[in-house]
Amino acid sequence: MLVVAATQNAHKIRELTEITKAFGMTVISRSEAGVPDFEIEEDGATFEENSLKKARAIMERCGLAAIADDSGLVTDALGGAPGVLSARFAGVSGESADAANNEKLLALLSGVPDAERTARFVSVVTLVFPDGRALAARGECEGFIGRAGRGDGGFGYDPLFTPRGFEKTFAELSAEEKNGISHRAKALAALRELLSKGAG
């Protein structure tokens, strides 16, 4: 199945491609599908709303099935923040956004004891078909927020997040290790299950 990725984040496209190729899905970028460059305002209150909005917008532009991931970090000590605002947490865009977001998160958690630094990455993946049908699947990965970044891999909050049961952060794991346990991998596995049951 050929699907167009709604995201323009190269890291997310790489993860989507690596995970979905195992079940016969070929993910292409918006530019490869001839979709003009435009911004989709992520103004939903939930990951589900944003994911659906992004997938539907791209499907309507190209007429092909489109897949969107809306994901973020939910931190218990901060009442669920940054949540749907994860990518825009520090109000910075571009290449410096990740560093600014991580710096803000660490500052807000500075007085929080280690045992209370629990968090989870959440991913909602939505697949929208040209006939308007939509399938949505959610995945979560539980873990903890460290006191400093570790590792050079991954992106976003990966250097700060240690998944439960591991000693390494997401940024210290190999791509294969991360793709085996991540929130995005779990959401895509759930989507695959929906497709295998004929929901698509």
Tokens representing residue 50 in the block:
């944003």
User: Which domains can be identified in the chain, with CATH numbers?
Assistant: 2-196 (3.90.950.10)
What pTM did the predictor assign? 0.91
In 3-state terms, what secondary structure has residue 39?
coil
CB within 8 A of 120, min separation 6: which ones?
Answer: 73, 74, 140, 141, 142, 143, 183
Residue type, 27: V
pLDDT digits (tens, 9 = 90+) for 141-150: 999 999 999 9
Query: Which H helix or E strand runs over 181?
Result: helix 175-181
Q: Is 70 a catalytic residue?
A: yes
Q: Point out the catalytic residue in the list 37, 43, 69, 70.
A: 70
pLDDT digits (tens, 9 = 90+) for 164-190: 999 999 999 998 999 999 999 999 999
